[in-house]
Amino acid sequence: GQSLEQPSEVTAVEGAIVQINCTYQTSGFYGLSWYQQHDGGAPTFLSYNALDGLEETGRFSSFLSRSDSYGYLLLQELQMKDSASYFCAVRRSNDYKLSFGAGTTVTVRA
Amino acid sequence: KAGVTQTPRYLIKTRGQQVTLSCSPISGHRSVSWYQQTPGQGLQFLFEYFSETQRNKGNFPGRFSGRQFSNSRSEMNVSTLELGDSALYLCASSKGLTNTGELFFGEGSRLTVL
C-alpha cells in the first residue's frame, strides 16, 4: 500500500486557501516534493522541502515536519486554473525509490 | 528546449499481446524513470535508469521490463498484457539521480487492454 497518505478530494471557492496534507510512514527519506497534474496532462514539479519548515513559491507554499511525519501544500488565492490533482512524493533513503501519494483532486468553484 | 517526449500517446491492445513504449528525455538528462498511473492509485514506480543501467525497480511482475540506450532514450515493454495493465504510463527525466524529486514528466502513453 501507499506509504504516503493524502486526502482524495478538496473543493473550495476562488480566492480561498486550501491546505493539502501529506502524512507518511516512510522511515527515512531525502525530502518531500509536490507535483501538480491537470486532467490529461503531465505532472509538473511544484516544490521541494529538504529541511523542516516552510518553503514559499508565489501563491503556493510547502511545509515539512519530519518529527511529525507530516507535510502540507498550501494553495492561496485560489484560481480556477488551480483545479488539478496534487501529489506528494519522497525518495526513500533505504532503497532510493521514489514513492508518490495517491493524489488529491482540488476543485475550485466560482 | 524540448520536453520529455513519449510515444505512442494512445494505444489499444488485447490480452496476451505485448507493447513497447518509448521515452525521449530532455536533452542532457541522463536519468529516466517510469511510472504507472491508474485512477485512485497515484503514480506507481516501475523503474529508474541512469547511464544505461537500471538503478532501481518497483514492485511489478517480470512482465514489465525496460532499458535505456546510450543516447538516454528509454523504452519499456510489457509482455502478455492483462486487463489490469490498462493505465497511463508516465516517463520522467532528470539530469542525475536527484534527491530533490524534481522530475520532468512527459504526457504519458495511455494503454487500453481489451
pLDDT digits (tens, 9 = 90+) for A7-41: 999 999 999 999 999 998 877 888 899 999 999 89
Task: Say if residue B39 is preceded by a cis peptide, omega within 30 of 0.
Answer: no
Looking at CA atoms only, how far is residue A103 from chain B in angstroms? 6
Q: Chains A and B: how many Cβ contacts under 8 Å?
A: 70
Longest alpha-carbon distance in chain A:
44
- In this predicted model, what pLDDT tens digit does every residue of A45-60 receive, in sequence order? 999 998 999 999 899 9
SS3 B37: strand
Looking at CA atoms only, how far is residue A63 from chain B in angstroms? 15
- Residue A109, exposed/middle/buried by CB under 10 A (0-12, 13-18, 19+)? exposed
The pLDDT of residue A92: 83
For the cut 70, the answer to whether the pLDDT of residue B2 exceeds it is yes
The pLDDT of residue A96: 80
